[in-house]
Amino acid sequence: MNCLLCGHDKVHKHGKTEKGHQRYKCPHCGQTFPEHFDTLYYGRHLSLDEVHTILQSHVEGSSLRGVSRISGRAYGTVASLVRAASQKAQMLHNQGVKQIEAEEISGDEMWSFIGKKQKNCQPEELMAGDCWIWLSLASDSGLILAARVGKRTDALLEELLVSTEGKTDCDIWNTDGWRGYERVLPETIHHQVGKRRTQRLDRTNGILRQQTGRWHRLQNKFGKVWEQTKVTARLVVSYFNWIWENSRSGTTAAQRARLTEWIWTWDDLVAYPTVF
């Protein structure tokens, strides 16, 4: 085991914590740390199973208050864990999803709304109304390359394009007929238009809609806070890429993209190192 603080390749056991967890000491930097240091288990009065259940319930469509009722834990505890897991998920995506070999990229967006429908919003209510979840997908592996949450504007599409370019060198984009793609995509991109070319991404959008309750259409369930939609999106993207197993192929998108050799679990994401 390496030191989680300085990276030294050998640490020694150094007693146990009040809860019985193993403590370690590094002979190089002299620091001590428990076995769950730098994980989402550290400093939380939750068991490993409770952490996994809370995160799984949220990505499968339960609201934060719903998860609180299911788990019997306070709303603040659930919200804090989900937000911390979302930050871990973003770090995993930034570190793990890069230099992807893709034959084609599909780009599309999902409509949702925050608080109330756009027609009921006042001009100054910028953080309410229509909310679009934009995705870019490696068409061959099904890996989500980038995601953005915001209004349906050229500026947000440009953010998605820049983020996607940092993940792959592929220059072939398949999109629907929205003219914003023609305005934003540079001439160096080979742009192909047609729903037939974006069928895999449409299927991915359907999966994410069904799993994430607040993105369902035609139901009395929607996001209340703009920032929480971003938190959920980050967590759902990493869940789909690394943990969600395709029932037909028996693999995850990360496996098909050759980013990992095994199907990840919540424990892998929760324990993903943030100290390098």
Sequence-distant (6+) residues with CB within 8 A of 134 are 107, 108, 109, 147, 148, 149, 150, 156, 157, 160
- Of 127-131, 144-148, 155-159, 237-241, the range with the lowest mean pLDDT is 127-131
State pLDDT tens for residues 150-188: 999 999 999 999 999 999 999 999 998 888 999 999 999
Reply yes or no on whether the pLDDT at 218 is more than 60. Answer: no
Q: For the stretch 157-171, what's the b/e string if a residue is b when 16 or more beta carbons lie within 10 angstroms of its beta carbon?
A: bebbbebbbebbebe
Q: What is the pTM of this model?
A: 0.86
In the prediction, which pLDDT does 80 show?
A: 94
* Bigger pLDDT: 222 vs 270: 270
In the prediction, which pLDDT does 185 show?
A: 92
State pLDDT tens for residues 26-68: 888 888 877 777 788 888 888 889 999 999 999 988 889 999 9
Residue type, 275: V
In the prediction, which pLDDT does 150 show?
A: 92
Distance separating alpha carbons of residues 56 and 193, to the nearest angstrom: 36
Distance separating alpha carbons of residues 183 and 48, to the nearest angstrom: 48
